[in-house]
Amino acid sequence: MTSKLSKTTKRARAKLSRSAILDAALAIVRQDGLDALTMRRVASDLEAGPMSLYRHVKDRDDLLLGMMDHVATCIPLPKQQSDDREEIVEIILTIHTAFRSDPWLVHVLLFEGRGSLNVLPLFERLYAAMGRLGCGPAKSIDYYSMLLHYAYGESLSFQTRDKRREIQTEWAEDAFEAYPATSKVMEVAWSWKYDEFERNLRRLVATI
Amino acid sequence: MTSKLSKTTKRARAKLSRSAILDAALAIVRQDGLDALTMRRVASDLEAGPMSLYRHVKDRDDLLLGMMDHVATCIPLPKQQSDDREEIVEIILTIHTAFRSDPWLVHVLLFEGRGSLNVLPLFERLYAAMGRLGCGPAKSIDYYSMLLHYAYGESLSFQTRDKRREIQTEWAEDAFEAYPATSKVMEVAWSWKYDEFERNLRRLVATI
DNA sequence: ACCTGAACACCGTTCAAGT
DNA sequence: ACCTGAACACCGTTCAAGT
C-alpha cells in the first residue's frame, strides 16, 4: 500500500511540467471552450492542487501565451504561390483555418492582446508578397489590417452563430412584418451557412 | 433624525426602477468597460443591495439586452441617399459609429448573442438598397455578412489596439531581425492609426 | 409589492507552510 | 526544488426572510 502510494505520488510529480500543463489546457479549451479553461480545472485534470501550476506558469495570461506559441508552431505553411495575390490568399486562408480549428485564438489575440512570434515566417511571406505588388509599409499595413479584421469578424461570427440563432428563434414571428425587404432576406438567413470567407477574401485581395 | 432617515429610504426606493438600473449600467460600461459591469457594482452605484436589481431585471443577460434596446433607439438614422451604394455605405458607417462610441455593443452582439429589434428600420433600408442593386436574398445576406463581419473585426481590433501595443512593446527589439519585409512594415505599424474603415468599406461596397 | 442579507458555488491569485 | 491548503477578494444567482 505504501509502495502504491509512493508510485502515484511519483506519477503526479512527473505529470506536472510546463508542457503537460499546456497539453491539458489545450485539451480543455478544445473540448469545452475558453470559458471552461480555469486554473482550477487544469489542475484538477492533472490531479494536482490549483497552486501547483504557478510553479511552471506565471499566471493565466502566461498559460494562454504558451498555448498560442505551441499552436502557432503547428500551423502548416502553405506552398509558395507564383502569383502574389494567390500567395496572399493562401496565407490568410491558413490563418483563417487556424481560427476555425482553434476559435479561442481570436479571443486571446484580440482581448488578451497576446500574439505568438512563431507566426512571423507566415507574416514575412505576406508582407513580401505585398511588397512585390508595389505596396509600401503604409499600404501593406492597411491591406493587412483589412484582411485580418475581416478574418477576425468572420471567425467570431461563425463560432457564435449557432448560439445566436438559438436565441433569435425566441423572437416573435411577426417582428419583421413591417419590414418587407428584411423579411425576404430573413427567410433565407435562418438556414444560411454564409461560409463565404474564401470567396469574399478573393474579392478583397483583388482590390489590392 | 427619523425624518431624515425616512427621506433617504424614500429616495432609495424611488431610485430603483428598470430605467434607473439601465442608466446606471450604461454609465458604468461607458466609463469603465464591460468587465466593470457587475450586478454588484450597479447595485452599489444605486445604493441598493445587489439582490434588489432582480426585481426589475431578470438576470445579467436581460440587463445587457435592455441596454442594447435603449442604445439602438438612440442611433440617428442617416439621410436617405439617392445612390444605392452610397446608401449602403452610410448605413454601415452608422452602425460602425455606434460600435465606436459603445464598444461593448460588439461584445454583446457576438458573445451574448443578443441583438435589439430596434435596429430593424436601419436594416430594412440596407436590404432594400441591396435589392435595388439586383441582389436576391442569398446575395444580400452574403454581402451583408461580409460588411458586418468586417465592421465587427475592425471595431474589436480598434478598441483593443492600445492594450495590444502596450503588451507588444515588451517584445525583443531583434525579434524581427530575420524578417526584412516584416521589419520594414513594423517600423510604421507601431505608430500607425489604420483608421481606414470608411475607405475600405467603400472598396468592399464597390464590389457589390 | 418591493427590498435584502446570508449563503452557495464559482473564479484567479497571494502567502506561509509543508516535503 | 517542488508542491499545497487555507485564505482573500471577487463573481452571478438562489432562497428564505424581512418590511
pLDDT at B194: 66
| Share of residues in chain A with pLDDT > 90 (%) | 74
Q: Can you tell me the mean pLDDT for B1-21?
A: 53
Angle, to 10 degrees, between the axis of helix A197-206 and the axis of helix A84-101? 150
User: Which of B10, B78, B19, B79 has its CA nearest to residue B47?
Assistant: B10
Task: Tell me the average pLDDT across A81-105.
Answer: 97
Interface of B with A in 116-145 (CB under 8 A): 117, 120-121, 123-124, 127-128, 130-131, 137-138, 140-142, 144-145
- Measured in angstroms, the CA of A150 and the nearest CA of chain B are apart by 4
How large is the average pLDDT for residues B110-128?
92
Q: Determine the residue among A145, A174, A195, A204 to mutate to test chain B binding: the one whose Cβ has the most chain B Cβ atoms within 10 Å.
A: A145
pLDDT at A194: 66
φ, ψ at A206 (rounded to 5°): -65, -20
Q: Do B141 and A189 touch (CB under 8 A)?
A: yes
pLDDT class of A196 with cuts at 50, 70, 90 = confident
- Residue A3: predicted pLDDT: 30
Hey, is the C-beta of A58 within 8 angstroms of any chain B C-beta?
A: no
Quick one: cell of B157?
481590433
Nearest CA distance, B55 vs chain A (angstrom) = 22
Shortest CA distance from A191: residue in chain B? B138
| pLDDT mean across residues, chain A | 88
Cβ distance B184 to A137 less than 8 Å, yes or no, reads: yes
Does B185 contact A140 at a Cβ distance shorter than 8 Å? yes
* Residue B182 predicted with pLDDT over 90: yes
Q: Kindly report the CA angle at A42 between A38 and A45, in degrees rounded to 5?
A: 135
Contacts of B114 (CB under 8 A, 6+ apart): A167, B61, B64, B65, B68, B108
pLDDT bucket at A191, cuts 50 / 70 / 90: confident
Residues in Cβ contact with B15 at an 8 Å cutoff, skipping those fewer than 6 apart:
B46, B47, B48
- Please tell me which of the candidates A153, A185, A194 has its beta carbon nearest to residue B127: A185
Q: Which nucleotides of C are covered by protein (CB under 7 A)?
A: 2-6, 10-16
From the alpha carbon of A50, which nucleotide's C1' atom is closest?
A: D4
Mean pLDDT of B127-131: 97
What are A111-150's pLDDT values in tens digits?
A: 888 889 999 999 999 999 999 999 999 999 999 999 999 9
Q: What was the pLDDT predicted at B165?
A: 84
**Is residue A61 less than 8 Å (CB to CB) from chain B?**
no
Tell which residue, A166, A170, A189, has the closest CA to residue A179. A189
Chain B residue at shortest CA distance from A113: B164
B4 has pLDDT over 60: no
pLDDT category, B12, cuts 50, 70, 90?
very low
User: Which of B59, B126, B58 has its CA nearest to residue B93?
Assistant: B126
Segment A12-41, tens digit of pLDDT: 445 689 999 999 999 999 999 999 999 999
Cell of A25: 489546457
Q: Model confidence over B134-157: pLDDT tens digits?
A: 999 999 999 999 999 999 999 999
DSSP secondary structure letters along chain A: -HHHHHHHHHHHHHH-SHHHHHHHHHHHHHHH-GGG--HHHHHHHTTS-GGGGGGT-SSHHHHHHHHHHHHHHHSPPPPPPSSHHHHHHHHHHHHHHHHHH-THHHHIIIII----GGGHHHHHHHHHHHHHTT--HHHHHHHHHHHHHHHHHHHHHHHTHHHHHHHHTTS-GGGGTT-HHHHHHHHHHTT-----HHHHHHHHHHT-
Check A194 against B167: CB less than 8 A apart.
Answer: no
What mean pLDDT is reported for chain B?
88
Instruction: Identify nearest nucleotide to residue B50 by CA to C1′ distance.
Output: C4
Q: Give A112-116 contacts, CB < 8 A, sequence gap 24+.
A: A112/A61, A112/A64, A113/B160, A113/B163, A113/B164, A113/B166, A113/B167, A113/B168, A114/A61, A114/A64, A114/A65, A114/A68, A114/B167, A115/A68, A115/B164, A115/B168, A116/A65, A116/A68, A116/A69, A116/A71, A116/A72
